[in-house]
Structure 1
Amino acid sequence: MKLPEPPSEQSFPSPLHHPRVATVLGRWLGVAIAICFLTGLLSHFAQVTPGWLTIPTRPASLYRVTQGLHVLSGIVSVPLLLAKLWTVYPKLFAKLPWPPSKQALATALERASILVLVSALALELFIGFLNTLQWYPWPFPFKETHYALAWIIIGALLVHLAVKLPLISTHWRRTSADRTPIPQHPVDSLPPAITGLSRRGLFRTVAGAGTLVGIASIGQSVPAFGPVAVLAPRKPNIGPQGLPVNRTAKDAGVAAVNADWRFTVTGPSPLSYSLDQLRALPQNRSDLPIACVEGWSQGARWEGIRIRDLLRLCGAPEGSPLRVVSMEKGGFYATSELPPQFAEDPLTLLALRLNGSDLDLDHGFPARLIAPNRPGVFQTKWVHRLEVLR
């Protein structure tokens, strides 16, 4: 009995596997990856700031916008990546030229770059999505791995683009040949619903899928879409005092605050206050969002004492950085560093009240930090000490 011939690239005659289709979908995916990469860099540098970079405090909601875009572009990349892979998968059955030649080397390099690109991108999107759920079923650190994978993706993408540049250039613009309907190949085994899908129909389907998952998730950072945000792990206005909670007081090991609680500032002239004494100091208001790395954000009204006023009271030199110390028991963010530009910004508060009432314990009672354009993990809760570092 004669065995059937193995499939080849010619075994997939659908016009939806045409290089023009792959180029268009590649453009869309490339834009999504670029936005995700650039906003991800901003988020990483906001958390791990290199010495040559100064993070600005304004616009006050900048991190809210960029991190929302980061998560949104990552989610939208999923249907784009699946559509792109479906369009080009017949290339997997193309035979390498033989004997070895420059063309064979270029083809092998292309396939290797695609393997690295697809593997890294799939893993990046997978762990990124699980991060929005705050679920980490792996032994490696998320932040460092996520950052390293981003650079691997960009490197593999550049190699892939360099190899495919002639083909991309040929099909970048729509030609008269693309406007002419391509007759469907008679494949009796395929149902009409598949063989009848046009290129334009495929583009509309993919664009619709990307738009749908975007709308179903963006509600975690855009409250207007909250009611339809079925893919959003958090709704921005649900939680104590109308604000979500990532880490509760119980999770942080913080119990109810005793009457002998004191807030201290270590500096040239150390300060110590009870909660009532803090409330007696001049109070200020800041309308600032909480924006978390998981992509959700929510604006709120905060009231408390300006950090720069506390620095003046303790005689700290101008431009002093601070360490903010929480009552949290352990954890990566039990302390945070507050650079001088944030300490001096008039919007940065030691907040005592949220949305018109005293802080809920899960929101950091009796006092927490709130500052403009900072990741939520650095808006330290349950603050009991500020340390002037110089």
Structure 2
Amino acid sequence: MSGGAVGVESPTRQAISAAQRLVVKVGSSSLTTAEGGLDHERLDALVGILAKKVASGSQVVLVSSGAIAAGIAPLGLRGRPKDLATQQAAASVGQQTLAHAYADSFVRHHLTVGQVLLTANDVVRRSHYRNARRTLNRLLALGAIPVVNENDTVATAEIRFGDNDRLAALVSHLVGAEAMVLLSDVDALYDGDPRQEGSAVVSEVTSPSDMAGVSVASSGTSGLGTGGMASKVEAARVACSAGIPVLLTSAAQAVRALGPADVGTAFAATGAHLSARRFWLAHAAGARGRLHLDEGAVAAVVKRRRSLLAAGVTGVEGAFEGGDVVELAGPSGTVVARGVVAYDAGELPELIGRSSHELPPEQRREVVHADDLVAMR
């Protein structure tokens, strides 16, 4: 089936079309040949579309995959490398190729690009998060096009985003984007394998119920990227939960995606725009441990947005220090919130389950303060 133009214009699509600041993510398969070389014709076509969007008055941040894929052919590799060292070598060659290609292409439209390479540490650590946000906002203010990619040359398994779809969602919040557009090799979200007869396009996702029965793949079809439909749907969920609507379609539909937004699958914003700190807590920060809560504490934290006290904690997992981010789980084990813990893991066992009046004055502070909490449901 085909994810062609949508007949009815929804409020979500109107918001995406009217966005004055948006993040566009393009996948490896949309920029490279099957052999792994950079496809300059397709890159130039995308740049032309983005330049037209900028000329209309919008600010655009481009999150671009393709560095590792672009390095495959120059290094004489037969396909995407599986070992980390060769991936990093391919990225070091391909990133340079990709950056030069974008700079040369955008300059023909009298636009300047700024390359921004990020690792997960740049959003997991709050100081780095703020620095990345300042850099991106300043580039936009100066009229430049930030071209963002994961710094694959130095990223290791422990500090990777995993795919650029998640990176795009985090960047969307970093810059206060009004919309996010995900461009890949699939024209929309389908309710089954799009290669199978009978699979239908899911045109709009306005709530989790719209995803009921939808099966998504966890890897791309080209073999050149790390993402898949599952990562795109998860990235859309993250962005939408922070008040940012998302359009998912193919790079071949980019003209309409960045115009009337009447193609592909539109994901409606499902939550209010979170503060930078709460978004960081919910989606960017890496949890160093877990606290188990009783039902009363879950109600206080999730429903009443109260601080977590020692009396409501029933168990401690992990080796964390005061100031680290931890997950808060209810009696069933489901994570219900995340927050910045005020104690080291070794200090908590003697405090948990005890009321404040039972503790010495120096240990009566909150385990996690309400200002450092974000509910996850």
- TM bin, normalised by shorter chain, reads under 0.3
Query: Structure 1 length as normaliser, TM-score?
Result: 0.25
Query: Structure 2 length as normaliser, TM-score?
Result: 0.25
Task: Flag the structure with higher strand content.
Answer: 2
Task: Flag the structure with higher helix content.
Answer: 1
Quick check: which has more Rg, 1 or 2? Answer: 1
